[in-house]
């Protein structure tokens, strides 16, 4: 894989989960990391202490002024923005008849509007330099629905389509845009959502053909590829990284055949 040596990468939701794993991987590949999150976590502080080229901006992705300020500060300090990865997200949802309007707005604002605002904040810079790679973090639930996931699924489906439109609109300016669609990944968000639903957790593990949840580092590997020059002719793509969750249904037959 081509490394990311001296590439300037802005990562939203960088302080935990997938965002932090991507920050670590990008740093290993030589990138300069600009992390954005609502709060600085202990895990981020440890990463920052061990990384030479690293900055942190406390910012909520629904706050356009904060996101724009972080992007402007990045350009002021480093002269360019080569990569944007949008990992900020929340997982609240529920069936529509049980979902209040405030929850719907919160999920759409963070997951979809936050992605829009983050992309918008870097586009002028990327257009001027006629290069850039934008990697959005969507979800398999933005491709196939799940029970009770109305707001979350709608937000991630919107991220997938927004990604395609960015690829269409800005490809001739040298800007690529792709989405990663993770399956069920072992993150604090997953534990928060599944904590009260042990039967659902078991069913997801069974339907994930590799028989386990994914690791944030496995998403980071895909994110590193999409950001790198190895993906120079890849744009508008939704890369599914889900351990086979969306490959098809399991009905216990492989167990009967001893394929476990």
CATH for 206: 3.40.50.720
The reply to whether 43 falls in a domain is: yes
Q: Please check the confidence at residue 241 and state whether its pLDDT lies above 50.
A: yes
pLDDT tens for residues 124-179? 999 999 999 999 999 999 999 888 889 999 999 999 999 999 999 999 999 999 99
pLDDT digits (tens, 9 = 90+) for 68-92: 999 999 999 999 999 999 999 998 8
Q: Considering the domain boundaries, does residue 1 fall inside one?
A: no
Evaluate whether residue 224 is within a structural domain: yes
Phi/psi at 76 (5° precision): -60, -40
Cα gap 128→10, rounded to integer Å:
17
Q: Does the residue 2 lie in any domain?
A: no
The range of the structural domain enclosing residue 178 comes to 8-256
pLDDT number for residue 11: 98
Q: Transcribe 146-173 into DSSP letters.
A: -TT-HHHHHHHHHHHHHHHHHHHHHGGG
Mean pLDDT rounded to a whole number for the chain: 93
pLDDT at 2: 56
Domain count, the chain: 1
List, for residues 1-38, the tens digit of each pLDDT value.
458 999 999 999 999 999 999 999 999 999 999 999 99
Residue-level length of the chain: 260
pTM for the complete prediction?
Answer: 0.94
Answer yes or no: is 136 within a domain.
Answer: yes
Annotated catalytic residue, options 26, 152, 170, 245: 152
Q: Count of CB atoms within 10 A of residue 218's CB?
A: 19
Strands (E), 59-146: 83-86, 132-137
Whether the CB-CB separation of 163 and 178 falls below 8 Å is answered with: yes
Look up tokens 């928060």; give the residue.
192
3 domain-assigned: no
Determine the pLDDT at residue 39: 94
> Does 257 score more than 80 pLDDT?
no
Q: What is the pLDDT of residue 1?
A: 47
Inside any domain, residue 84: yes
Average pLDDT estimate for 195-199: 69
> Residues of the chain with pLDDT > 90: what percent?
81
CA distance 57 to 72: 12
152 catalytic, yes or no?
A: yes
Residue 53: inside a domain, yes or no? yes
Distances (CA, A) of 178 to 18, 76, 103, 126, 224: 16, 26, 27, 15, 12
Q: Which of 119, 47, 113, 37 is nearest to 83 (CA)?
A: 119
Q: Could you tell me the pLDDT band of residue 102, with boundaries at 50, 70 and 90?
A: very high
């Amino acid at each position: 894989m081509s490394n990311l040596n001296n590439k300037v990468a802005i990562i939203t939701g960088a302080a935990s989960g997938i965002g932090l794993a991507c920050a670590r991987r990008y740093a290993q590949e030589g990138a300069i990391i600009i992390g954005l999150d609502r709060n600085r976590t202990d895990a981020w502080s440890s990463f920052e202490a061990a990384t030479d080229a690293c900055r942190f901006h406390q910012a909520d992705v629904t706050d356009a002024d904060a996101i724009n300020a972080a992007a402007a500060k990045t350009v002021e300090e480093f002269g360019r923005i080569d990569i944007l990865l949008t990992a900020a997200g929340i997982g609240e949802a529920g069936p529509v008849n049980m979902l209040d309007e405030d929850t719907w707005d919160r999920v759409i604002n963070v997951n979809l509007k936050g992605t829009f605002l983050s992309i918008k904040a870097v586009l002028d810079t990327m257009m001027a330099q006629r290069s850039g790679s934008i990697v959005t973090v969507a979800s398999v639930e933005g491709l196939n629905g799940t029970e009770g996931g109305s707001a979350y699924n709608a937000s991630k489906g919107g991220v997938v389509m927004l990604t395609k439109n960015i690829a269409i609109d800005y490809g001739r300016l040298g800007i690529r845009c792709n989405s990663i669609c993770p399956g069920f990944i072992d993150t604090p968000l997953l534990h928060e959502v599944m904590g009260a639903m042990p039967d659902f957790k078991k069913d997801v593990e069974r339907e994930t053909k590799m028989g386990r949840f994914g690791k944030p580092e496995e998403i980071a590997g895909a994110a590193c590829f999409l950001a790198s020059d190895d993906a120079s002719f890849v744009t508008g793509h939704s890369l599914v990284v889900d351990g086979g969750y969306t490959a098809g249904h399991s009905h216990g037959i492989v167990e009967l055949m001893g394929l476990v």
